[in-house]
Amino acid sequence: MSLTDQEVCIVDDDASVRTAVGSLVRSLGLRARLFASAEEFLAAGGAPDLVISDLQMPGMSGIDLLELLRGRADRVPFIVVTAFLQDGVKGRAIQAGAACVLGKPFHADALVGCIERALGSGHTHV
Confidence of residue 12 (pLDDT cuts 50, 70, 90): very high
Q: CB of 50 within 8 A of CB of 76?
A: yes
The 10s digit of each residue's pLDDT in 20-70 is: 999 999 999 999 999 999 999 999 988 999 999 999 999 999 999 999 999
How far apart, in whole angstroms, are the C-alpha atoms of residue 52 and residue 34?
A: 10
Q: Which CATH class is domain 3-119?
A: alpha beta
Give the start-to-end residue ranges of the domains of the chain.
3-119
Rg (CA), the chain: 13
67-111 pLDDT per residue, tens: 999 999 999 999 999 988 776 888 889 999 999 999 988 999 999
pTM of the model: 0.91
Closest CA to 123 of 62, 69, 78: 78
Say what the pLDDT of residue 4 is: 58
31 to 34, 61, 68, 72, 92: CA distances (angstroms)? 10, 24, 24, 24, 28
